[in-house]
């Protein structure tokens, strides 16, 4: 829970309605937390395929810190960001049960949102995470890896303006997200009645190019680099089994922004229906 302070964080988040339930009894809502970019626009590709979802409205959350630039000397914690999201979720849906999901680092934020909701006595129906490693598996992303991921994303850019736009959009909020993840102390859900979870982990890694050499990192950082870049052959849940009593892992071949509608739609269908 967000601790009381004399100068509470004034930031407020917003949410975007991706899909409205079209059944009279459709009063359930799914709230999606974006990844390191912080923008719920990443989920817009879902809208055409969500037509088939009859009884659940779907909202994409936006991080307040894509617009508000926090004080670099005292950046907001992941717990504070989650509390800001909780306020918006409560504004849209005052009472549970809740459906919460998140993509990449947003999956860790979604976990913390659920923890705060449960701590305050709310019911959470289900949690799902898409390509999210547990903080016990990796506490942060090495800067060399972040720079490498930026570089391979820019390979497909067609002009200097596009490259600059991608770099600018990536650095500020992703740097904040990485700082938050490195300082986050994850803990188990409180209480006995905890939600089940579904985790989607892509089988293919992100490095499918041969132009840019891979980053050099410390030995203790190599595991997370390998997980991001290499194809994933195991069936583990990346440490979530240590925290979640009821967790199901589903392994699509790939989860990409170009094809996310299919996979995130599948992620919605599995935990809800």
CATH number for domain 14-136+186-208+229-272, candidates 3.40.50.1820, 3.30.70.1070, 3.40.140.10, 3.40.640.10: 3.40.50.1820
**Per-residue pLDDT for 88 more than 90?**
yes
Q: 206 with 229: CB under 8 angstroms?
A: yes
For range 168-182, the mean pLDDT? 76
Lowest-confidence segment of 16-25, 147-156, 198-207, 208-217 by average pLDDT: 147-156
Higher pLDDT among residues 261 and 251, named by residue: 251
pLDDT digits (tens, 9 = 90+) for 154-163: 665 544 444 4
pLDDT recorded at residue 25:
60
Give pLDDT, residue 208. Answer: 86
pLDDT of 164 > 70? The answer is: no
Query: Is 182 in a helix, a strand, or coil?
Result: helix
Task: Assess whether pLDDT exceeds 60 at residue 265.
Answer: no
Residue 271 has pLDDT above 60, yes or no: no
CA–CA separation, 81 and 187 (whole Å) = 16
Residues 140, 17: Cα–Cα separation, whole Å: 31
**If you average pLDDT over residues 36-50, what whole number do you get?**
83
- Provide the pLDDT confidence category of residue 218 given band limits of 50, 70 and 90: very high
Between 236 and 120, residue with greater pLDDT? 120
Phi, psi of 84 (to 5 degrees): -65, -40
Predicted pLDDT of residue 159 = 47
Beta-sheet pairing, 14-19 with 56-62 = antiparallel
Please report which confidence band the pLDDT of residue 269 belongs to, taking 50, 70 and 90 as the band edges.
low
Instruction: List, in order, residues 6 or more apart from 258 with CB less than 8 Å away.
Output: none
Percent of the chain with pLDDT over 90: 40
> Dihedral of CA 197/237/133/131: which sign?
negative
Residue-wise pLDDT tens digits, 3-37: 444 444 567 888 999 988 876 666 789 999 998 88
Q: What is the band of 268 on the pLDDT scale with cuts at 50, 70, 90? A: low
pLDDT-derived band at 116, boundaries 50, 70, 90: very high
* 124 membership: H or E segment, kind and range: strand 124-130
Per-residue pLDDT band at 215 (split at 50, 70, 90): very high
**Where do the domains of the chain lie?**
14-136+186-208+229-272
The mean-pLDDT minimum among 23-27, 174-178, 237-241 falls in 23-27
CA distance 118 to 131: 23
> pLDDT band at residue 151, thresholds of 50, 70 and 90?
confident
């Amino acid at each position: 829970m967000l601790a009381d302070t004399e100068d509470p964080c004034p930031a407020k988040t917003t949410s975007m309605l991706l899909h409205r339930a079209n059944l009279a009894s459709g009063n359930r809502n799914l709230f999606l937390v974006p990844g390191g970019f912080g923008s719920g626009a990443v989920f817009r590709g879902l809208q055409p395929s969500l037509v088939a979802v009859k009884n659940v409205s779907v909202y994409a959350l936006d991080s307040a810190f894509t617009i508000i630039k926090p004080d670099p000397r005292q950046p907001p914690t992941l717990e504070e960001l989650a509390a800001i999201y909780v306020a918006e979720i409560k504004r849209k849906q005052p009472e549970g049960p809740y459906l919460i999901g998140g993509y990449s680092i947003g999956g860790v934020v979604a976990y913390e949102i659920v923890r705060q909701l449960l701590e305050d006595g709310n019911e959470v129906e289900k949690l799902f995470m898409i390509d999210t490693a547990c903080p016990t598996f990796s506490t942060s992303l090495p800067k060399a890896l972040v720079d490498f991921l930026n570089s391979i994303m820019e390979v497909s850019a067609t002009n200097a303006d596009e490259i600059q736009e991608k770099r600018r959009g990536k650095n500020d909020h992703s740097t904040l997200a990485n700082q938050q993840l490195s300082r986050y102390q994850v803990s188990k859900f409180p209480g006995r009645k905890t939600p089940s979870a579904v985790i989607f982990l892509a089988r293919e890694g992100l490095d499918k190019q041969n132009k840019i050499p891979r980053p050099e990192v410390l030995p203790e950082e190599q595991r997370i680099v390998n997980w991001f870049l290499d194809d994933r052959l195991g069936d583990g849940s990346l440490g979530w089994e240590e925290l979640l009593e009821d967790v199901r892992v589903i392994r699509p071949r790939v989860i990409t922004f170009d094809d996310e509608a299919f996979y995130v739609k599948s992620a919605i269908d599995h935990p809800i229906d």
